[in-house]
Chains A and B, each alone.
Chain A
Amino acid sequence: MIPDSYGVGIGWRPEIAGFVAELPGLRFVEVVAESVPATGPAPPALAALRDRGVAVVPHGVRLSLGGAEPVEPERVSRFARVAELLDAPLASEHIAFVRAGGVEAGHLLPLPRTREAVDAVVANVTRVQAELTVPLALEPIAALFDWPDDELDEAHFLNEILDRTGALLLLDIANVYANAHNRGDDPLDLLDRLPLDRVGYVHVAGGAAHDGIYHDTHTDPVPDVVLELVAELSARHRPPALLLERDGDYPPAAALRGELDAIAAASGHPRVT
């Protein structure tokens, strides 16, 4: 677990660095691990946050932990170095693959929920954990489609990976909503079957539906249904930390503050604005 309760945080991006720097109650941010120079020193804006006691969590997007091929050793070393450079309390990555056969997909792609895929993820996570000096949290992704040969349902697939790796869960509540909406499932069923006591932190993000399919865009406002899921989750087991992810079409500061406050209200954590 994260040793402390960090409350409500926000994904640090260069475009909103000024806004983030002025949040008075902020105790943690996340930064895309691949955007941090591994040679150090930490970028000044992140170093300044860290110096005032804000934890900075590197969030990898390019390791391809779900790739059938072994995770590239240089990427693992780099990821581990960035976590050390930032004095991070933990680091996170996705249960997904982003390249295959030497070709970049340019996005996080879903895995077949098979034993073979579980084995591939577990092997790669183990390789990362061997170098990482802090706990690793794994994030299930939003999938627009499923593989035809799933053997396990989502909860079983995730529990198997978490049990075998000992990793924390980075639960993206918007992804839970997106997958349930797009598969016609009840998102609460998944929440009830995940190990909520192993949630390292939670992602909250916006999205939008087109032609009946919900897209986890990170460029739209956080819908009320996602905030309601934050409340449902917190009622079951309040996560130690929740983080707003916004990756473009940045709204005015007042709107971002409103979303942070809404997450605080839904989860019962203090406001950071």
Chain B
Amino acid sequence: MSGGPPAPGPIPEQDPTERVTGVAGTLAERQAALVATLTAGAPVPPGFDARLVEVARSALLRKRAGDVARHWPLLAAGLGERWLAVFARWAATRPTQGSLRDGWDLARGLAGEGPLPAPAAEELAVREALWRYDGTTAPRRRRLPAIRRTDGGTVLQLAGRIRLWSDRNR
């Protein structure tokens, strides 16, 4: 992984066709291939150090997990020690759409598989009541009242304010 041979003095002019890169494609294509490797599980492009690219991929997933945990603290806390593994498995083939949407998509996906821990379910329900999110474009604030049920209670949004009822207190 050395930084290539030193090139003292001005850069020699070089015919691009004579460059020995061993790698085909324009810079744009090659950048896209690398991003696909790091965010969507595509194979490591030829010539790269696969071990180091994997180190970068893992570091990137850890960073994303931390960013999403800041936007979805109760979702992350609800999963506890499993958070990093659960997020990393989900995110390994999904390039980021921003931390808010990433967490939202994951929360919906997990909720579809089984009940979320109560605080995480409430966090999701509050967001669903406040915002309209179609899963493909940026969430937008709801103008109309909305009501969402969770396993443990009910969330009501009225004029942008949230009220929570727990089933136990009824």
Expressed in whole angstroms, the Cα–Cα distance for A107 and B47 within the complex equals: 21
CB proximity of A117 to chain B, nearest CB, Å: 6
Given contacts A106-B96, A156-B7, contact A213 B35 (CB under 8 A): no
> Does A55 interact with chain B (Cβ within 8 Å)?
no
- A182 / chain B contacts, CB cutoff of 8 Å: 1
B35 near A103 with CB under 8 A, answer yes
- A160 / chain B contacts, CB cutoff of 8 Å: 11
Expressed in whole angstroms, the Cα–Cα distance for A238 and B16 within the complex equals: 40
- Encoded as 1 (CB less than 8 Å from any B CB) or 0, chain A from 108 to 133 comes to 01001111110010000000000000
Q: Which of B17-25, B72-80, B136-144, B158-166 contacts A (4 or more CB under 8 A)?
A: B17-25
Expressed in whole angstroms, the Cα–Cα distance for A151 and B47 within the complex equals: 14
Contact of A107 among B28, B31, B60 (CB under 8 A): B60
> Does B26 interact with chain A (Cβ within 8 Å)?
yes
Q: Which parts of A196-229 form the interface with B (CB within 8 Å)?
A: 211, 213, 215
Expressed in whole angstroms, the Cα–Cα distance for A184 and B96 within the complex equals: 32
- B20 / chain A contacts, CB cutoff of 8 Å: 149
Q: Which of A2-10, A20-28, A139-147 contacts B (4 or more CB under 8 A)?
A: A139-147
- B7 / chain A contacts, CB cutoff of 8 Å: 151-153, 156
Q: Which of A83-91, A93-101, A262-270 contacts B (4 or more CB under 8 A)?
A: A93-101
Contact of A153 among B5, B34, B55 (CB under 8 A): B5
Q: Which of B36-44, B113-121, B146-154 contacts A (4 or more CB under 8 A)?
A: B36-44
> Does B145 interact with chain A (Cβ within 8 Å)?
no
Please name the residue on chain A nearest to B30 by beta carbon.
A112
Expressed in whole angstroms, the Cα–Cα distance for A213 and B53 within the complex equals: 12
Given contacts A105-B38, A160-B11, contact A146 B1 (CB under 8 A): yes
Expressed in whole angstroms, the Cα–Cα distance for A116 and B19 within the complex equals: 11
- B49 / chain A contacts, CB cutoff of 8 Å: 145-146
- B85 / chain A contacts, CB cutoff of 8 Å: none
Q: Count contacts between A and B, CB distance < 8 Å.
A: 124
- B6 / chain A contacts, CB cutoff of 8 Å: 153, 156
A67 near B3 with CB under 8 A, answer no
CB proximity of A212 to chain B, nearest CB, Å: 10
CB proximity of B12 to chain A, nearest CB, Å: 9
- A192 / chain B contacts, CB cutoff of 8 Å: none
> Does B109 interact with chain A (Cβ within 8 Å)?
no
> Does B95 interact with chain A (Cβ within 8 Å)?
yes
> Does B14 interact with chain A (Cβ within 8 Å)?
yes
Using C-beta atoms within 8 Å of the partner chain, give the interface range for chain B: 35 or more
> Does A44 interact with chain B (Cβ within 8 Å)?
no
A103 near B59 with CB under 8 A, answer no
B14 near A115 with CB under 8 A, answer yes
A100 near B31 with CB under 8 A, answer yes
Expressed in whole angstroms, the Cα–Cα distance for A101 and B39 within the complex equals: 12
Expressed in whole angstroms, the Cα–Cα distance for A246 and B40 within the complex equals: 29
A105 near B48 with CB under 8 A, answer no
> Does A248 interact with chain B (Cβ within 8 Å)?
yes
Expressed in whole angstroms, the Cα–Cα distance for A179 and B2 within the complex equals: 10
Expressed in whole angstroms, the Cα–Cα distance for A104 and B34 within the complex equals: 11
- A100 / chain B contacts, CB cutoff of 8 Å: 28, 31-32, 34-35
Q: Which chain B residues have a beta carbon within 8 Å of chain A's beta carbons?
A: 1-7, 11, 14, 16, 19-23, 26-28, 30-32, 34-36, 38-40, 46-49, 52-53, 55-56, 59-60, 63-64, 66, 95-97
The 8 closest A-B pairs by CB, nearest first: A148-B47, A101-B32, A150-B4, A68-B28, A100-B31, A145-B52, A149-B21, A68-B27
Q: Which chain A residues have a beta carbon within 8 Å of chain B's beta carbons?
A: 67-69, 97, 99-101, 103-107, 109, 112-117, 120, 144-154, 156, 160, 179, 182-185, 211, 213, 215, 248
| 18 pairs, CB–CB < 8 Å, chain A vs chain B | A100-B28, A104-B35, A104-B96, A104-B97, A105-B39, A109-B34, A113-B3, A144-B52, A145-B48, A146-B1, A146-B4, A148-B22, A148-B46, A149-B20, A150-B3, A152-B11, A156-B7, A183-B1
